[in-house]
Structure 1
Amino acid sequence: MMADINELKRICSQVRRDIVRMVHGAASGHPGGSLGCVEYFVALYFHVLKHNPNAFSMEGKNEDLFFLSNGHISPVWYSVLARSGYFSVDELATFRKLNSRLQGHPTTHEGLPGVRVASGSLGQGLSVAIGAALGKKLDGDNSLVYTLHGDGELQEGQIWEAAMYAAAHKVDNLISAVDYNGRQIDGDVDQVLSLGDLKGKFEAFGWTTLKCNGNNIEELLKCLDEAKSLTGKGKPVMILMVTEMGQGVDYMMGTHKWHGVAPNDEQLEKALDQLEETLGDY
């Protein structure tokens, strides 16, 4: 499933509309990080991943797999899953409602197509992805495994245990990414617990490490292509993806305050005025 740059940008605009409408409709959720990661998810699902939305299986044999570790940004994932054909776009209206398959943090017991592991307890996604990547190697499956993490999530010790394991065991069919927006729920990452030289750290742990602007779709696609070209060379690959929390909605940008706050009616209208409806609202 591949789209050209202009179409990817149109999809991004619609996904951002979906995000703010979903969070507003539930009066709950995490718009900031979701808006910041739109380009990544759209690039992945509409251009990069080898996947089959019409025949989802938990095993994903001969398909690329994706694991969302920072599960609180589920709105962007749900929107892209629906827009790429995993389930009806109309189901987005049920986000965080009773008996919905679209829980605030992704889960598996509802059987939502596209979701292979529950996430939201931070720090666990890289370990899960390493297991899946090693499983593909055992099966002779040459497909790749992708993960996404928050930069605040990197304060979890399990991330670094997994990072050390992946390099030591040459898990070179793994491409991870960090949403490097510099903000977390309590403020700036540098003020809460600085990550220091993050690129240097991952390289010291034995990863091939790239860095790009995660809100520039052209630059991001080049980075993802380069990451793919670096797989199979004995090292896992990490992309440090510099983004802006709240990207696309001016009053949500430049602050951590929209990490987990829903817009009210007036704020929703202001957001939608900034985002073109391109594919039709649900």
Structure 2
Amino acid sequence: MADKQEVKRLNDLAYEMRTKLINLCGVYEGAVHIGGDLSMTDLLIGLFHHGLNVDPTDIKNPRRDRFVLSKGHGAVCMYIAMALRGFFDYDEIVRTYGQMDSAYGMHPCKVHLPGVECSSGSLGQGLSMAVGMAISAKVKKESHRVVCMLGDGESCEGSVWEAAMSARSYELGNLVAVIDRNKQMMCSYTEEITCMEPYADKWKAFGWNVIEIDGHDMNAIVDALDSLPPVTSLRPTAIVAHTTKGKGVDFMEKVIGWHAGSLNKEDWDQALKDLAKNYGKEA
């Protein structure tokens, strides 16, 4: 059972992260993938502030866990989660995000941003890279985990299931896939395009250990991360996290138009009010 104080600490960080995402979306002149960022906020806070063995002061430690963001368009969400852990400076993210020569691109680049484990953005490729990392760790008898976050929309890609089959074949107990199952794509709801249900059963059919959770319940997130099988186990683990796109901002939740966008002053103010209300932070 998750520690109550730890869950409170993580929930407070999730609220802070959501406000920082909204503020960046209000300042930035272009479109931010705000809907998906808000759906994966709790998961990234749980990972970078509880589950992952990482240290911002020792980013090359060979014993560190590796994190792969397969849904690379959620990069700014990862940047802010890492900034809250001490990897990056939030003000620098806001000042330079999406600009020419900025380290904080709309998709992550490990060359320009030390601390990021892999460059990503071409959907359906991240799990394959994570499988390679996990195989390497197993061959070298290293004890760290490799964690890959995917969007459910990208699991329409055949490459995801090729990687899933390979992971079980190579008995990669050191590999964890976290799926942001928000049931939306850029222009539609997932089930309108591809029949994904029964979704968790598909991962089970490929031989994975499956943990199905509410991806906004920090108790459930902590319990899932704390109960992962040992890295020496023979099955990779998939955490299927049911989430809501735009979570925390009432007028964004489950609305296709907020896959990506920018905020005018009225929407910006309302978004912050919604977050304060939904987190019990209203004066």
TM-score by length of 1: 0.92
Runs of 5+ consecutive residues of structure 2 not aligned to the other structure: none
* Counterparts of 1:16 and 1:200, CA distance in 2: 31
Shift of residue 22, structure 1, vs aligned partner: 1.7
* Counterpart selection for 1:25 from 12, 24, 27: 27
Is 1:162–2:166 an aligned residue pair?
no
8 A contact 1:28–1:96 mirrored in 2: no
Q: Deviations over 1:83-122 (max 9, x none)?
A: 1011222212121123211101111231x13212111110
- Residue 243 of structure 2 aligns to which amino acid in structure 1? T
SS of alignment partner, residue 251 of structure 1: coil
Q: Could you tell me how far 1:125 is from its partner in structure 2? A: 0.5
1:101 is aligned to 2:113: no
Quote the residue 1:235 is aligned against. Answer: 235
- The residue that corresponds to 1:204 in the other structure is 205
Q: Is the contact made by 2:177 and 2:237 (CA closer than 8 Å) also made in structure 1?
A: yes
Measured after TM superposition, the shift of residue 237 of structure 1 is 0.5
> Partner letter of residue 264 of structure 1?
N
Equivalent position of 1:213 in the other structure: 214
SS at match of 1:232: coil
The aligned residue for residue 257 of structure 1 is 257
User: Which portions of structure 1, spanning 4 or more consecutive aligned residues, are displaced by more than 6 angstroms?
Assistant: none
Q: Distance in 1 between matches of 2:145 and 2:249?
A: 33
Amino acid at match of 1:154: S
Q: Secondary structure at the match of 1:254?
A: coil
Query: How big is each residue's C-alpha offset from its partner over 1:234-263, in whole Å with a ceiling of 9 and x where there is no partner?
Result: 111001100000001110002222111222
1:172 — aligned with what? 173
Contact 1:64–1:146 (8 Å) recurs in 2: yes
- Residue matched to 1:43: 46
Counterparts of 2:202 and 2:43, CA distance in 1 = 23
Partner Cα distance (2:164, 2:274) in 1: 39
- Any idea what the Cα deviations from partners look like across 1:64-100, whole Å, max 9, x if unmatched? 1110000111121010111101122221212112321
Does the 8 Å contact 1:30/1:260 carry over to 2?
Answer: yes
Residue ranges of structure 1 left out of the alignment (5+ in a row): none
Classify the secondary structure of the residue corresponding to 1:50. coil
Which amino acid is the alignment partner of residue 15 of structure 2? S
* CA-atom RMSD in angstroms: 1.7
SS across alignment from 1:209: strand
Cα distance in 2 for residues equivalent to 1:190 and 1:217: 26
Alpha carbons of structure 1 residues 203 and 241: separation in structure 2 relative to 1, 3 Å: same
CA displacement at 1:274 relative to structure 2: 2.7
Q: Check 1:5–1:196 CA distance in 2 against 1; reply closer, same or farther (3 A cut).
A: closer
Deviation at 1:19, TM superposition (A): 1.1
Q: Does the residue aligned with 1:131 lie in a helix, a strand or coil? A: helix
Using the aligned pairs only, state the percent identity.
Answer: 31
Q: Deviations over 1:194-221 (max 9, x none)?
A: 2121111111111111100000101111
- CA distances 1:123-142 after superposition (whole Å, capped 9, x unpaired): 01001111111111122211
* Cα pair 2:173 2:229 within 8 Å, conserved: no
Question: What is residue 245 of structure 1 aligned with on the other side?
Answer: 245
Alignment of 1:60-71 (within 5 A): 60-71=61-72
Q: Return the letter of the residue paired with 1:143.
A: H
Q: How does 1:121-136 map to 2 (within 5 A)?
A: 121-136=122-137
Residues 230 and 237 in structure 1, CA contact (< 8 A), matched pair in contact too:
no
2:58 is the counterpart of 1:55: yes
Asked if the contact 1:151–1:179 (Cα under 8 Å) also holds between the matched residues in 2, the reply is yes
Alpha-carbon distance in 2 for matches of 1:231, 1:219: 21
Q: Distance in 2 between matches of 1:90 and 1:188?
A: 34
Question: Is 1:78 aligned to 2:79, yes or no?
Answer: yes
| Other-structure match for 1:151 | 152
Cα offset, 1:230, TM superposition:
5.5
